[in-house]
Structure 1
Amino acid sequence: MYAIVEIAGQQFKVAKDQKVFVNRLAGKEGDSITFDKVLLAGNGDDITLGAPVIEGAHVGAKITRHLKGDKVIVFKKKRRKGFRKKNGHRQYLTEISIEDISLKGGKPAAKPAKKATTAGDDLKKIEGVGPKAAEALANAGVDTFAKVAKTSAEELSNILSEASSRLAHLATATWPQQAQLAADGKWDELKELQDKLDGGVEK
């Protein structure tokens, strides 16, 4: 049995026991995670097509390791301008092992510990987080105040940098603190803190 599933904004064809490299996901090595954006599933000649996803279907996986991809050289040149710029880039990746593919009514082989597509919080309420940054965090699985609070500022910066070079400049030092106040419902304290901030850093 195989399935086509959306993971972190990309589509993959997966089968049980297959190992897949995807964009960096939140979570530790050994964590179980479930993806419910299953677009198509096939078992021999039987094919189930979603509209756009198959209701009740899910793919269960386990995070095996976090790593960096191979180096890619980015070279820019402008003719007759004398402009040359060379950069190297290594994508942050997560290797996952597919453990279970289940359609509606099926019993999963292992109970998932996390669900990657759960509706998250409005992360734009964090000072310094705009729509693009919120989208990048959600695609990486960091889609709630509680998850942001548990993610280090360095890891948040890595997620943003890998999503777009235009997000690399954002200051994330206070994001976990702001997110913890939001997760606890301490909106007055959050507002008091944000009054002292400009772009996520103290004025």
Structure 2
Amino acid sequence: MAASTLPDAVLFDRDGTLVVDVPYNGDPERVRPMPGARAAVARLRGLGVPVGVVSNQSGVGRGLLTRRQVQAVRRRVDALFGPFALWAVCPHGPDAGCGCRKPAPGLVLAACERLGAAPRRTVVVGDIGADVQAARAAGARSVLVPTPVTRPEEIEAAEVSAPDLPEAVRLILDPDGLPGTPGGRGPTGGDPGPGGAP
């Protein structure tokens, strides 16, 4: 595959996307990969595409989790998938007014900067509308992978959706799979549920 058609980076939501959503989980033993997730991440890594995680963890701001617990879960995810190139985590509650909490673009922009990735050549993969909206606000592309918590209006509003992570990665790697894909067709892409935005 030509390097010019590969994204600069792919950023995954954590809960409900990479791993089964356990609300406000601080226990590494409860971490379970979503079906096909490890193979999907491995395929991108095999092609040299940097992969990162962008995750809202408002349990910290709400006093339901400690930063140490979030780090323990992160280590478990890295152990299951292999270390991610970066983790960008928002610990704030929904009323904090921060610029990092999805659907704001802060996490995506920070991840792109740290990876040296152009937002327009970066893809965000998540399970709810906040993930898609954060990508759009950052100037990145997105793929929605719905779960039972994904609202119908979020699915309808998503430009691209896939039934699972392996199909999402297939679309990402297909030069014609996503609007705005370098070398592909289509225009440049220019209240959250519990899955990825607790």
Calculate the TM-score normalised by the size of structure 1. Answer: 0.29
The structure whose residues are more often helix, as a share, is 2
- Which structure has the larger Rg over C-alpha atoms? 1
Calculate the TM-score normalised by the size of structure 2. Answer: 0.30
